[in-house]
Structure 1
Amino acid sequence: MGPPPSDELHQWAEGRGGARMSAELLLEETLIKRSQQKKRTSPLNYKERLFVLTRSKLTYYDGRAEKKFRRGSIELSRIRCAEIVKNGGGIIPCQNKYPFQVVYDANTLYVFAPSHDSRSLWVQSLKEEIKDNPGVWAKFHPQFWQEGAWLCCRQVEKLAPGCEEYNLFGDISRKPLPPIPGEERNNERRRPLPPPSL
């Protein structure tokens, strides 16, 4: 019998026997992660990380695929929200300009994808995997937590309830289709008359 495989994901699946399905690779891409600033004094920085999504975890690594060192891992069952961050024209100080967020426990992980399509794929894949989580939020913060406040609603409590409805089954990066000409008028004609007042 040869030496154990060097790939941590493969080792995890092998060691779990029947857990192979949960280690199934869904997505893998080098993205940029913003520091989570879990401590008040931690600096705000951006680092390139190799992100790996399986059916059970979102894991990110320092280094290249062949020599990776795990920097963090989030069980998908702990994720409360995965959504695009609306930047509102603000400056993004890294080369990847398409942010999304992963909210879990009391933390928000901000990740920056290299393209609109990449970001949409990550967000939709995460939403698909967390759709049955009991703790998925009804509301979320659509903008960044920055300099001690939510940019969307100016709340200064990091754990403040969200200010916008969270649509687990939608893609907020897509604009709704315009109404079909004439349909609005037809719908208005079909409305029942109000009951007569007595």
Structure 2
Amino acid sequence: MSPKLFHLRERHADARTSRTLLLLAKAVQNVGNMDTPASRAKETWMEPLQPTVRQGVAQLKDFITKLVDIEEKDELDLQRTLSLQAPPVKEGPLFIHRTKGKGPLMSSSFKKLYFSLTTEALSFAKTPSFKKSALIKLTNIRAAEKVEEKSFGSSHVVQVIYTDDAGRPQTAYLQCKCVNELNQWLSALRKVSINNTGLLGSYHPGVFRGDKWSCCHQKEKTGQGCDKIWSRVTLQEWNDPLDHDLEAQLIYRHLLGVESMLWERHRELSGGAEAGTVPTSPGKVPEDSLARLLRVLQDLREAHSSSPAGSPPSEPNCLLELQT
């Protein structure tokens, strides 16, 4: 409206130019005000511009609608809906290590978010009750691996290597609270993505800082990794069938290893009984749990010594029952 005021011209524009600038300013103002009836009644001289103003208002409304559109027909929203409907495979709070990138996890600072892994996607939100704010499609995951300790000063960091919707490689670094949680997340991520196409054969256990990788000092960010992928290394399920013979043997070997400690404790409780003898008369010393355990251990040793080498006894002398 006034070029001289903003130091665009040394002098005021002529009357025709000033009027043209005024019309443009009023038109933009009416579009911004969504062409209210008050504006039209106040400035009837703007009537010839009303068709242009109404067209601009329609375009502005369409632009704002697209900015705030949350319809589920959008592909990302549809994937989010599917991920929320699928039962979670693994969920819990994790910290995010911020790195330079354009993925959904790259813009977040080092803070705690609640993650939920389903058979559709890895999604996350501020709290479990919040609607999931973003996600990584399961089909886009290329690897889930451990990050070396020197990268973030912690040995409990998981990296999820994936591709965004444009096909560009991205990496999310998730901090776990302990090694057990680290292994559980690695196992869960690998199990749900094991059949993905395009799984990587190698990865970088470090991070890319400055102009090189911290692990191998390669300067090519998208180059081949320096360590092999461990995509098939997972934890066994809780309901996996146990090898009962093996488990019993492990318990027996453990009891043999602490036998001297058990006898020492037994002597203290029984008032200095001779080592290696378990009282047989309930009247002398009460038959407590420790005495029964030592008696079972003696029976097991006798059964092992009397059976041929490499073969178990045909009929065990005693059954060991563990009670809590």
1:43 CA displacement: 8.3
Q: Is the 8 A contact 1:86 1:143 kept in 2?
A: yes
Letter in 2 for 1:148: D
Q: Which residue of structure 1 lines up, in the alignment, with residue 120 of structure 2?
A: 56
Letter in 2 for 1:12: T
- Distance in 1 between residues matched to 2:211 and 2:184, nearest whole Å: 30
Distance 1:60 1:90, change over 3 A: closer
1:164 CA displacement: 0.9
Aligned equivalent of 1:101, options 159, 163, 177 = 159
Q: How does 1:1-40 map to 2 (within 5 A)?
A: 12-13=81-82, 20=85, 23-38=86-101
1:144 CA displacement: 2.1
Aligned equivalent of 2:224, options 161, 170, 178 = 161
Percentage of pairs with the same residue: 24
1:69 CA displacement: 5.2
The C-alpha deviation readout for 1:16-51, integer Å capped at 9, x for no partner, is 9xx95xx12111111001124116xx9894121111
Letter in 2 for 1:135: G
Q: Is the 8 A contact 1:80 1:136 kept in 2?
A: yes
1:146 CA displacement: 2.6
Query: Mind listing any 5+ residue stretches in structure 2 that lack a counterpart?
Result: 1-76, 164-168, 235-324
Aligned equivalent of 1:129, options 192, 195, 206 = 192
Q: Which residue of structure 1 lines up, in the alignment, with residue 145 of structure 2?
A: 83
Query: Mind listing any 5+ residue stretches in structure 1 that lack a counterpart?
Result: 1-7, 172-198
More strand by share: 1
Bigger radius of gyration, 1 or 2?
2
Alpha-carbon RMSD across the aligned residues, in angstroms, is 2.9
Aligned partner of residue 109 in structure 1, secondary structure: strand
- Distance in 1 between residues matched to 2:197 and 2:152, nearest whole Å: 33
1:135 CA displacement: 0.6
1:165 CA displacement: 1.1
TM-score, structure 1 as length reference: 0.66
Q: Is the 8 A contact 2:96 2:175 kept in 1?
A: yes
Number of aligned residue pairs: give it. 149
Aligned partner of residue 112 in structure 2, secondary structure: strand
Aligned partner of residue 221 in structure 2, secondary structure: coil
1:12 CA displacement: 2.4
The C-alpha deviation readout for 1:82-112, integer Å capped at 9, x for no partner, is 01112248624xxxx5101000011010000
1:118 CA displacement: 0.6
TM-score, structure 2 as length reference: 0.42
Aligned partner of residue 104 in structure 1, secondary structure: strand
Distance 1:43 1:146, change over 3 A: farther
Distance 1:27 1:163, change over 3 A: same
1:152 CA displacement: 0.9
More helix by share: 2
The C-alpha deviation readout for 1:134-180, integer Å capped at 9, x for no partner, is 11001111122233321111112221111111121126xxxxxxxxx
